[in-house]
Amino acid sequence: MRTKRQLDDPRALRDQASGAVIFVLAATGPDPRPLPGPALVALLDALGVTEVTARATILRMRRAGWLTSERRGPVVEYRLTEPAKALAASVLVPLVGPRPAWTGSFQGLLFSVPESNRGYRDALRRAATVAGFGLLQGGLLIVVDSWRWERIQPLIDRAPVASRLIRTELRFSVDDARTVATAAWPLETLAATYRQQAADVMRLVDGFRATAPTGAEAVRLMWEAMSRLSTTAIDDPALPAELLPADWPTVQVEAALEAVGKVVGPRIAAFIDERVAAAGEGR
């Protein structure tokens, strides 16, 4: 996370240490509260992030616009910035959030770029794919969520003079739209990965059925479960449910998340409170 530009790139969340910071801060509740630096470092330690790496990562994320900091007495508190919370939340939509409603049409970007500007064309395709657009065919990108345009608009604005970029709308029946979606996005691959990861999470939880983990062990279990599924969710375009394959593993993913939440959710909250209290006491 070396530039603020990466606040528009969900792949930045794949960085192990940075992802751990986001996870720990988000684990404080639906409206993430700030954490004192010592508590944040201690919680990261529970995830295997050394103190040196934790402090360097926190500093880098603050400079890049992911975190804000405020001194409270002898300690500095850190919280996620609004753009960081929005990006993290958008990644979780395919896992826990409501999918967008199907409006009957895709938004499209028709583009024609001279071969002499191939670098720009490739950069546009990469940026659009990261933003959740699908490449339906050469020269046509499609998307369902209007807000995703914000992520590629700066690149569109820098299009070479000889290029042509035209926004359009493509209307389809639900059946045809489902066929289009399958062609534009790797949905079958995503579904297979979700199934495997949901099964892996259930096996992790089953290992703790007899004795529920507490403290740092509880944090590690939730982190392992969420990091597996969220890594795949980064590549999920969060399409309307009507456009997904009939065997999309929504039930398996929800069951896995519910299972791990029941086992460790309250224990993680207690551990965070303990570490915050310890930071306030200078321990």
- What pLDDT digit, counting tens, does each position of 31-72 carry? 778 899 999 999 999 999 999 999 999 999 999 889 999 998
Does residue 265 sit in the same domain as residue 210? yes
Alpha-carbon span 227 to 139, nearest angstrom:
34
CA 181 to chain centre: 21
Q: What is the pLDDT of residues 171-204, one digit of tens each?
A: 999 999 999 999 999 999 999 999 999 999 999 8
Q: Tell me: the pLDDT tens digits for 103-157?
A: 999 999 999 999 999 999 999 999 999 889 999 998 999 999 998 999 899 999 9
- Length in residues, the chain: 283
- What is the model's pLDDT at position 95? 87
Domain with 160 in it: what CATH number?
Answer: 3.30.70.240
The answer to whether residues 134 and 194 belong to one domain is: no
Query: How many separate domains does the chain show?
Result: 3
272/195 same-domain check: yes
CATH code of the domain covering residue 55 = 1.10.10.10
Q: Which pLDDT band, with edges at 50, 70 and 90, does 4 fall under?
A: very low
Mean pLDDT of 72-78: 88
pTM for the structure as a whole = 0.83
- What is the rounded distance in angstroms from the CA atom of residue 37 to the CA atom of residue 40? 5
Q: Which residue has the higher pLDDT, 11 or 41?
A: 41
Residue 2 has pLDDT above 70, yes or no: no
Asked if residue 179 belongs to a domain, the reply is no
Most confident of 84-88, 175-179, 267-271: 175-179
pLDDT for 5 equals: 46
As given in the structure block, the two tokens for residue 204 are 């992790």
Any domain includes 153: yes
In a domain, 178, yes or no: no
Same domain (yes/no): 207, 233: yes
Q: Which residue's entry shows tokens 């062609």?
A: 183
- Answer whether residue 93 is part of any domain: no
pLDDT at 243: 97
